[in-house]
Amino acid sequence: MSEIKKIEEVNEDISWRDITPGGIAPWAGGAEAFTTGDWRTMRPVLIEDKCTGCLLCWPTCPDTSIMPTDDGKIKYDYDHCKGCGICVETDRS
C-alpha cells in the first residue's frame, strides 16, 4: 500500500497525481481557492423591488454565496455561486 502524500495547499495548479486518494480534504476551507461559479447554468439576479429583505435566502445557500449588506438587502458572490436556484425558491408562498 502506498503512503498518503500530505499536501500543504490545494489549488488549481496541483496535478491529479498529488491529490489524496478519493479526493479527501484533510482540512476545511479549500473551496475559497477555486472559482466554482464559472460552470453554473443559472445566475441569480436580485430584483430589488421584489426583495422584502427577509434574508431567508442567506442561510439556505449551500455555497455561502449570498451575503447580507448593511442596508438589509443581499449581494451574490458569483465566483462561488453554482446556480442551484435554492435562493429563488425560499420566499415563494
pLDDT digits (tens, 9 = 90+) for 9-60: 667 777 777 776 666 666 666 666 678 788 888 888 888 888 888 888 989 9
What is the C-alpha to C-alpha distance for residues 92 and 88, in angstroms, rounded to an integer? Answer: 8
Domains in the chain: how many in total?
A: 2
Buried b (16+ CB within 10 A) or exposed e, 41-64: eeebeeeeeeeeeebebeeebebe
pLDDT at 66: 92
| 44 DSSP β-pair partners | none
Residue 54 is part of which domain span? Answer: 36-89
pTM (predicted TM-score): 0.61
Tell me, yes or no, whether 76 and 40 share the same domain: yes
Tell me, yes or no, whether 56 and 78 share the same domain: yes
pLDDT tens for 57-88 read: 989 998 889 999 888 788 999 998 989 988 88
Tell me, yes or no, whether 25 and 64 share the same domain: no
Tell me, yes or no, whether 55 and 81 share the same domain: yes
Tell me, yes or no, whether 21 and 48 share the same domain: no
- Say which CATH number the domain at 69 has: 3.30.70.20
